[in-house]
A and B are shown apart, each in its own frame.
Chain A
Amino acid sequence: MKYELDARRLLCPMPVIRTQNRVEELAPGDTLEVVCTDPGVVNDIPAWCRINGHRVLETREASGEITLLIEVGEA
C-alpha cells in the first residue's frame, strides 16, 4: 500500500517524529511519501531509516519542497 504524509512547515526533528509515528502503523513493504520543507530532513530522515531498518527509495527536491519515498522494513 502507498501512503502520504505532509510534513511541510515543520522543523526538524518534527518531520522525523511524524514519519516515525506514521511508519509504526504501516506494514513491511508499504511505502510512505513524505513531503517536507526543512532541508534538515535530507540528513535526518535517511539516518532514521538506516537505524530503524527502513529504506529511502527516492529523494526529490523541487521549489523548496523535499519529497522522500520510504519503504517500510521488517519491524
Chain B
Amino acid sequence: MTQQRKAVALISGGLDSLLAAKVMLEQGIHVEGINFFTGFCVEGHTHAIRKKDKAKPKRNNALWSAEQLGIKLHIIDIVEEYKDVLLNPKHGYGANMNPCLDCKIFMVQKALEWAEKKGFDFIITGEVIGQRPMSQRKDTMPVVARESGAQERLLRPLCAKNLSPTLPEREGWVSRDSLYGFSGRNRKPQMALAAEFGFEEYASPAGGCCFLTDEAYSRKLVDLWQGRGNREYEMDDIMLLKVGRHIRPAPHFKLIVSREEGENNFLMGYKKQFIHMYTTSHPGPMVLVDGEPAESDLLLAARIAARYSKGKMAERVTVEIHKPGEEPYSVEVEPLGPTELKDKWMI
C-alpha cells in the first residue's frame, strides 16, 4: 500500500481555499487546515461589536470551511510577528495598507514550519493567477514559492495547470490531470466547481481577507501612526480602529465616538485606559479621547460629544469627563455647530 500523503491547506474562509482543499481530499490526500490571525482579519470582531449585526448568526468562515470539508483546523495567532510584515514589507503595499505579497510569503513560510514539525509533505493554497492584482499574478506566484522557502512543496490546485509541475505532481502523489487551470478575475469556474462539490452559502469577501485592503481603515491606521509619531501598535489599537467615528481636531489628540449601542458597550470596555466622556443632560454617545489633550482640548471634545448627542440643538449640554484614576467632573458646554465641525477632522 502506498503511503497516504499529507497536505496542510491555508484556509482563509473564502471559497477558493475551500475548493483547493476539497480538490486534494478528492485525490485521497490527508488534509488539515491552517488559518492565521493577524489581528486585521475581517472575521468576527465587528459583527460582535455592532448591535445591528448581532441578530444575524455570526460564524467564523474558516471554521465553517473546515467543517464542510471534514478536516481539522489549526488557528495560529501571528499578531506579534505580523507587525514586521506590515511595517516593513519588502514588496510594498497594495492599493491601501495591505502588504499582500509579503503577507502571503509569511503565511506560506509559517505553514511550512508547521508542516515540517508535524510531518506533512506539502502545502496548498487557493491562489488563482490573476485573481488579485498584487499577490496573485503569474510573476508573483514563483516569488511566494521561493521566498517562503516552500519552493516545490507549494501546490495551488486551482491554477496548477498554468504553472510548472510541483513536487507532489512529479512524485505522483497527486494527479496533475485532475488539477485546474483557473485564471483571471472571473469567478464562474469556481462557482461551478462549488456547485459540483455541493457547497452552498460560502463566503465571498469582496476586497480581500483583511481590513488592510479597506481604504477607510487604512486611512485611520496611517493617521494613528502620524498622531503618535511612531508606527507601533497594539491589539487594542487595531480593534479601536474598527469602531466608531474617528475625529482628530488637532495632531495631538483624537476622539472615538460611538455610533450605536453595541459600539457604546464596546468602548465602555476601554474606560480604564482612556480619558472618556459622555453627555449626562441628554442621551448621547460614549467618547474616548486618545493622545495628550490639554484642558481646553477636552472642552472642545465635550462640545463635539454634545454635537453627537440628542442635545445637539440645546443651548447647553452637560458632559461628564473621566480621566483614568481621577474623580470625574462635569462641564456645561454649547454643542459644536454644524459648520464648526470641520470635514478635515474626520478621519
Contact = CB atoms under 8 A, between A and B. Distances in A.
B48 A38 contact: yes
Interface residues of B, number: 26
Given A13-B75, A14-B77, A20-B75, A44 B47 contact: no
B73 A13 contact: no
B47 A20 contact: no
Contacts of B47: 40
Interface residues of A, number: 19
Interface string B41-57: 10111011000001001
Interface in B25-79: 37, 41, 43-45, 47-48, 54, 57-60, 62-64, 66-67, 71-77
A14 B58 CA distance: 15
A12 B60 contact: yes
Contacts, number: 64
A43 B76 CA distance: 19
Nearest to A38: B48
B24 to A, nearest CB: 17
Nearest to B57: A43
B269 interface: yes
B74 A16 contact: no
Interface in B140-187: none
Nearest to A41: B48
Nearest first, the 6 A-B pairs at minimum CB distance are A12-B44, A47-B63, A44-B60, A40-B48, A17-B77, A51-B66
Interface string A52-71: 11000000000000000000
Contact of B48 (A11, A48, A51, A53): A11
Contacts of B74: 20
